[in-house]
Every structure is written in C-alpha cells, then in structure tokens.
Amino acid sequence: MTATTDGGGAITGGADPRHDSTAAPAAAAAGPSGGGTGLRKGVREAVDRATGELLARQDPQGWWKGDLQTNVTMDAEDLLLRQFLGIRDEAVTRAAALFIRGEQREDGTWATFHGGPPELSATIEAYVALRLAGDPPDAPHMSRASAWIRAHGGLAAARVFTRIWLALFGWWSWDHLPELPPELVFLPPWVPLNIYDFGCWARQTIVPLTVVSALRPVRPAPFALDELHTDARDPSPAKPLPPLASWDGAFQRMDKALHLYRRVAPRRLRKAAMAAAGRWIVERQENDGCWGGIQPPAVYSVIALHLLGYDLGHPVMRAGLESLDRFAVWREDGARMVEACQSPVWDTCLAAIALADAGLPPDHPALVRAADWMLGEEIRRPGDWAVRRPGLAPGGWAFEFHNDNYPDIDDTAEVVLALRRIRHPQPGKVEAAIARGVSWNLGMQSKNGAWGAFDADNTSPFPNRLPFCDFGEVIDPPSADVTAHVVEMLAAEGRASDPRARRGIAWLLAEQEADGPWFGRWGTNYVYGTGSVVPALTAAGIAPSHPAVRRAVAWLESVQNEDGGWGEDQRSYRDRSWAGKGASTASQTAWALMALLSAGERDGDAVARGLAYLVETQRPDGTWDEPYFTGTGFPWDFSINYHLYRQVFPLTALGRYLHGEPFGPERRNVPPAEES
C-alpha cells in the first residue's frame, strides 16, 4: 500500500482550531464570487476537475479507498504487540518511530485529532513506543513529553487500555486494573452485561481481553519507566470510592468483588471459560485473517490466542499477523502509519454516489465496475447481529474488505443508494441485492423506530458504567445520521410511506435539537447530523417549509463562516458551545450545502457563498486539502480523518447544485446557464 498524495499529510502541532466561526482560514483570492453564471461556470469546472481526479483513483477491481487516519496509539500498540510476541524488527520500528515523532507537538505531547488538545494516554503510548525505538529519555523531545506526563498525573491517570499495555511488561500492576472475567462469555443474551450488550467493536475487544485479564502475562521490560510515575514508590495511590448509591460506586464495588472472585474462581470453570473465549475468537476470524476488519480487536485476539497456546506458526496466528501488516500505510518519507480500519465499501459507495450526482452517465464503465465490486461484497450469511434478530434473512454490506460477521446498517443503506444510481447490464442481479439489503435494514430497526449501526436495540445502560470501559462508547444505540440514511434509502425505493419509514421520520423529528441541528454520531458533529437528516426528510416527502427544516436551515446559516465554508471541531462532542464552530473544511461545507440544497435554498446567499468556498479552495489537480478530522469512531474519544471525504462530499454537493436532487423530479433537468 502506498501513501496518498492528496495533501492530508501527517497531523501537525499548533494552535487550536478557531472557536470563533467568523475566523476560518481565508479562501484563495482567485475564483468566483457571488451567484450567477460566473459561479455556475466555476462550479462546473470544479466538478470536471474533481470527477477526473476521483476516476483516476479507482482501483482496477472497481473500488476506492482513502487513508483512514486516527492517532499514534495505533502505531505505538503495534510496536508493543511485536515486542510482546518477540517479533519486533528494526525496519518497522524505525519507520513507525519516524511517523510518531512527526506527530509530536512543540510542548512534547500528542493529540488524538488535528489541532486538538494534548491527550495523556496517547502521549504515554507514543513515548513508550519511542523508547522502544531507542530514543533516550533525556533527549529534548522525550524530556518534554515525560515532564508533561508527570504534570498531568503520570501513568496512574492513563486510561485502562494504556495501563493494560503497561502491565504486559511489568510497568503497571495487574492488581491495579479492573477485573474482566472470562466467565462473561457464558452469560446468555438476556442477562445484563452479556457480551452482546456491548457494541460489536467493544465485544470483539473485550472477549480476548478476558483471557488476557485472567492470565495476567508479564514479559520482561526492556527498560524502566520510573520517569513517568508521579511517585515511583506508590504508582497507584488509593482513591476513595464513590457513594454506594451512585452507579459509579456500585460498579466499582462490583469490580472489587470480581477481584475477590478471581482468588476463588473454580479452576475447571475458568479453564472452560477461557477455552470458550478462544473458540469464540477463532470462529470470528475473517478470511483475510483479521477480526471485524479493525485493528484493535485483531491485536488483542492475537495476544489472547498466543496466551492460550497458539504458536506464531499456527495458521490462525500467521493469518492474523499478516492481516495486521495490511493496516500499514508506508509514506513517501519512509514513515509507517497504521490505520485502525480500512473503508473500501464505504469509500466506494460514496464515490459512486458523488460521480453519479456530478453527472457521470449511469452506465459509465467506472460506475459499472464499482457496482460489480459492491455486488461481490454483499454478505449473505448470519453474523452476531442474528443474536437479536434470529429470524431475519441476511443481506447487507460491511465497511471493510473482509468483515462478514458485522455488516452494518449505514453501509448497506448507502450501497443501496449507490446501486440505485447505476445502470448495470444485469439489472436483475442488482435488484435482488437491493431487495435483500432493504429487507435486512428494515429488520434491523430498533424498538424506538430508529437504527443503530451494527445491532438492533443495543442500548443497555450498563456497559458504559464498567470501570474497564473508559476508552469510548461501548454500545451502539440508534443515531440520527444512520437513521437518516436508512430513511433516504427507503424514500429512493419508493417506500417513504412504509410504516417503518414513518416511524424513523417521527424519531428524527423528535430528536432535533431546540436550535435546529441534529447530533452526528459517526461524523463531526452537528453539521454532519444535519447534513444527513435534512436531505433524508425532504426525500421522504417532508416539505422544505416544514418547521423542522426551516430551523435546520436557520441554524446552518447562523454557523456559516465568513469565508463561506462550514467547519466544526471535535470539541463540540464535549462542549455544546462548539456546535457548528471550527475552521472551514471541504467535507463539512459539502454536508451543509447538501442540506441547504435539499431544503430549496439553491438560490440563497448561503449556498452561493458555500459553493464559492469549495471552488476557490479546490487545488489545480481537483483535490481539496483537509487536515482536520471530520469523522468519528467514538464521539470525542476516537476521531478519524477519512482522506476521501474531502473529495467525495464536495463533488456530491457541487453535482447536486448543477443537476438537482438525485431522485427528485428536477434531476438533470436544470437548464444550463450561459457561460461567462
């Protein structure tokens, strides 16, 4: 895999993104301004450049995939895994260290998103990784990092996941970590805190970690980390327990009880539980050797199986380690970045939608190749989702190249929307796949009428309360953006009047924030939620004059930056005052435009200014630069820069301005304006 050259680059240090929505980066001096034929001409030229650039990126097999950039904990944990297994080599270590050093900021810290605040656990893991690479602790960049770590609580203040990695090498005591018993795998689905109460990403991580927690392995540490303790004599000072009447107090006392249970757990039961966990892990290994198509579960699954006796030459282990190598992106400067996941299905359906909405003929060879590839990725077997929906026939798409256990509702909806735009030489084949995808998505509707990403009714209030679960969201409740995409898909299929679609619409209307936007679970944040919901509502027959649509329009207009673009910082997940505020980005500007266009604001000043921003900031090669993170894994805790977002969403928005809504009566009937 080679690095992209689309200007994403490495995350750099520097000041926070501007909190004032009027203070976004200045647009280029050249380009159209205002509405009229000049703007239209500029949009058309931008569409032509972006279309050519996106077509050139397509793989011969039909798919697209941009880099998926997260943070340096992926790279640090990859090195720690290799150290733990005894397979770390100097070439990989040098390349990983080059990337990690490049992400360090002037104050010695690392952040989890571009321009974000320093993050303690990321800084600790990056520091340890650089120690593995041979960086001496008294080097200036290392001294700055360790001083900042000590000033912010040291190792004791790190998240549980970080301290698990430290415990693997004796840098932290297993006794000072939450207990995670493997007997958890025996709990039936109706018992609280069974493994299916967790979101699929957490479930795939927690099951192997029950084995690690039970066995408590320690490998010889290659060096000490005393410089990262605030008090080396007492690395984990006792803290008073919260009141018993509180949830935190109850769960922390339960954790203490589990520590006591560890001492008396029946050996045969524990051995059987670890064996069951091992079987669960092996049964869910994908054909490419990975687990769930994401790096963290793969890392912990490899460790757990190794502890259960699988040697490194075992086919399961060999395939697992090879799959981890495929997460590496080697950059032109020799640095090696590890992706947390890969997004070819998501990128391909979004690219196909963008090209079709930009005016590419529906039978264009690139679109047909994309359709063929997407059809080949359909998942026709049950996965973990069937625990809650045992009678539902399979038929859907996952996010990754290989992830047959976990198709997701969002990808399925967008793939159907993409396939519906393409004129394939075998229409019956396409119609059958679409019918299966629509049926599966309808069957995955939650009780409240909305949709989550991977499971139905994955809404237990208990998993997030566990002391172990301090690393981000661990359940998969319905969200406005996923629900909107399903509603939009149903509308495109002529099923907007289906009672299940109407329930989804009612849920969306009820979820609107008082000032007009919707919360964005899988994209940042209120701009993404609003950019998803408004097009879905209008596609389903909600009039642009509806009060909910007008409130959304008013909110989008109120947060538009002075340069004409829109931006929203990840901080909005923690601080509502950041909603809709941040430096302008191409992807977020496109989301806002998609909402405004669907709401009938084609001739409005906000749309003209937004279009001008996209045209003026496009580079000569047809790309846009976007260092900011506009994707979301866990709100606030895990942020993503999808490198293809900056291409597909602007092209979609510009195309809809030229040609109208994708399934509207005006589609491609917008009269061309005279060129000026």
Type of residue numbered 642: Y
Locate 288 and state its tokens: 């490419």
CB 273 within 8 A of CB 186: yes
Q: What is the DSSP string of 623-661?
A: -----S--EEEETTTEEEEETTHHHHHHHHHHHHHHH--
Q: What is the rounded distance in angstroms from the CA atom of residue 565 to the CA atom of residue 366?
A: 30
- Percentages (nearest 5) of helix, strand, coil residues in the chain: 50, 5, 45
Q: What is the rounded distance in angstroms from the CA atom of residue 553 to the CA atom of residue 517?
A: 9
Q: What is the rounded distance in angstroms from the CA atom of residue 361 to the CA atom of residue 339?
A: 34
Q: What is the DSSP string of 405-459?
A: T--BHHHHHHHHHHHHT---S-HHHHHHHHHHHHHHHHHT--TTS---SSSSSB-
Q: What is the rounded distance in angstroms from the CA atom of residue 484 to the CA atom of residue 455?
A: 16
Where do the H-state alpha helices sit in 5-115? 37-57, 73-85, 90-103
CB 49 within 8 A of CB 59: no
Three-state SS sequence of 256-301: HHHHHHHHHCCHHHHHHHHHHHHHHHHHCECCCCCECCEHHHHHHH
CB 377 within 8 A of CB 671: no
Locate 24 and state its tokens: 């976004």
Catalytic site residue 481?
Answer: no
Q: In what order do the strands lie in the sheet with 68-69?
A: 68-69, 638-642, 631-634
CB 512 within 8 A of CB 553: no
Q: What is the rounded distance in angstroms from the CA atom of residue 195 to the CA atom of residue 305?
A: 18
- Residue 501 phi/psi, 5-degree rounding, is -65, -40
Locate 66 and state its tokens: 């941009």
In three-state secondary structure terms, 552 is helix
Among 421, 347, 365, 355, smallest CA distance to 658 is for 355
Q: What is the rounded distance in angstroms from the CA atom of residue 353 to the CA atom of residue 347?
A: 10
- H or E element, residue 328: strand 328-330
- Residue 643 phi/psi, 5-degree rounding, is -70, -15
CB 21 within 8 A of CB 571: no
CB 434 within 8 A of CB 419: yes
- H or E element, residue 133: none
Which of 347, 404, 410, 411 is catalytic? The answer is: 410
Type of residue numbered 404: D
Active site residues: 410
